[in-house]
Homo-oligomer: A and B are copies of this chain.
Amino acid sequence: MAKMTPRTLSGFMELLPAPQQQLERIMEILRRTYALYGFTPLDTPVIESSDVLLAKGGGETEKQIYRFQKGDADLSLRFDLTVPLAKYVALHYNDLSFPFRRYQIGKVYRGERAQRGRFREFYQADIDIIGDGKLSIINEAEIPAIIYQTFSALGLRRFQIRVNNRKILNGFYAMLGLSEKSGDIMRTVDKLEKIGPEKVKAILTEDFAVSPADAEEILRFIAITGESGAVLAALETYRGRSPLFDEGLEELSTVVRYLGDFGVPAENFAVDLTIARGLDYYTGTVYETTLLDHPEIGSVCSGGRYDNLAEFYTDRQLPGAGISIGLTRLFYVLGEQGMLNPDLPTAPADVLILPMTEDLSPAISLATLLRQNGIRTQLHCEEKKFKQKIAYADKLSIPYVIFLGEDEVQAGVVTCKDMATGEQTKLEPAATVYRIKAGLAERDKGAVILG
């Protein structure tokens, strides 16, 4: 028969079993952490009607979307988890209680140009808090705690949550009478780290007709850095010139004030006035998260406060705050950087049983006992040489191998080999279970991510 060469589409991540176990572990930690903060899991369809999904329309997104006909229906694959959330909240408004807190970890689709580290199918891990009409600033203050807890639980230490407030930015540009140019200015200022202050000033004055004095003022403003208290003190000197600015400053002060109570260490947090994020969407606090030893990766968790989640579907004012982790890309980058802990178990089983008797009853009963004790167990009954079966356990990093021959069955014991140390014990089944469980607990202690 002619064979079709098997292949996986470029831009689609398909992992081997060991890295898949690492990714599963990360997803499990995300689920657990999000749940700790009172977020409920949601799952929306991957396919939506195109008119619903593209209600907002236009932009780069529409070009990248996977859109197709099926019968009479014009369908599209979701390109993020925010639009489906907006639809969900508008559609199920009467069945939901507000504030509505949900997390969703799901695949999204963008037909981007394929290149290394860019994916067309990728997981996003989102949380959002949606209010009905209003939403307290405390929700925005809580989000750094969720980011901190998430990355800490994954094992990261050297990361920084950077926070700004769009009202402060917009208020500041209003003070200078530059509100209408604020979009262009913010996009330029965003390049500060890359191109330096002189270039920024040149672009502002030449391309956007900002006066040299105002350009200086802008550069002075965004140069305000330091620990949070110092930044807030510097911002206080601008108070009284724009109600919007003052409101933003109040909000930012509240966010900073409760950080300690929320359990966020000062060294993992910074106010960063250069952060703006999606210009036509965010309206209050905005967040980015960077790995201190890998700034080149960019933000690994971003988001902010928005005033109107579902304006394309409903007249109701549904403000919200949320963050998103681009999980597939993060996982890829962590792997590239060698930051995934290789010592955590990735084996499909904790124990491989090699029966060495004609009658398999004792081996099967032992497997059942181990499983009843929560130990992941595989029986290896294939016709292979003993050496090949040991090599199998070795290759899969299965930590324990149990041999069960006539002698052991007669004596009511099992021989159990610790594959890491080579140590071999001959103990009763219950004692073997105890030893294995203790060993597994020890092996499971590390974090997923090194850093």
Residues of A in contact with B (beta carbons under 8 Å apart): 1, 3-9, 12-17, 20-21, 23-24, 35-49, 51-52, 55, 66, 68-71, 73, 75, 86-88, 90-92, 95-97, 99, 101-102, 107, 109, 111, 120-121, 131, 134-136, 138-139, 142, 145, 149, 258, 261-263, 310-315, 348-349, 352, 360-361, 364-365, 367-368, 371-372, 374-383, 392, 395-396
Contacts and interface: CB of A to CB of B under 8 A. Distances in A.
A43 B20 contact: yes
A7 B52 contact: yes
Nearest to A391: B97
Copies of the protein in its oligomer: 2
A68 B71 contact: no
A378 B17 contact: no
- 8 nearest A-B pairs in the assembled complex, by CB-CB distance: A38-B378, A68-B68, A40-B348, A38-B349, A261-B364, A4-B55, A138-B381, A12-B45
16 contacts: A4-B312, A6-B313, A7-B49, A7-B52, A9-B75, A17-B42, A20-B43, A21-B41, A35-B376, A40-B348, A46-B107, A68-B69, A136-B382, A138-B379, A145-B368, A258-B360
A249 to B, nearest CB: 18
B349 A9 contact: no
Nearest to A86: B6
A314 B3 contact: yes
B4 A17 contact: no
Contact of A382 (B16, B23, B134, B382): B134
A44 to B, nearest CB: 6
B8 A48 contact: yes
Nearest to A71: B111
B312 A12 contact: no
A311 B348 contact: no
B121 A37 contact: no
B69 A5 contact: no
Given A38-B376, A102-B348, 5 more contacts: A1-B312, A6-B87, A7-B91, A15-B42, A21-B41
Nearest to A348: B40
A87 B372 CA distance: 34
A423 to B, nearest CB: 22
A36 B376 contact: yes
Contact of A68 (B16, B66, B145, B371): B66
A135 B364 CA distance: 17
Given A49-B7, A91-B6, A40 B69 contact: no
A121 B372 CA distance: 34
A16 B95 contact: yes
A258 B364 contact: yes
Given A4-B55, A40-B20, A48 B9 contact: yes
Contacts of A38: 348-349, 352, 376-378
Contact of A314 (B6, B42, B88, B314): B6
Contacts of A97: 392, 395-396
Given A14-B44, A261-B364, A136 B6 contact: no
Contacts of A367: 262
Nearest to A13: B45
A45 to B, nearest CB: 4
A338 B376 CA distance: 33
Nearest to A69: B68
B24 A41 contact: yes
B66 A365 contact: no
Contacts of A395: 97
A121 B376 CA distance: 31
A68 B74 CA distance: 11
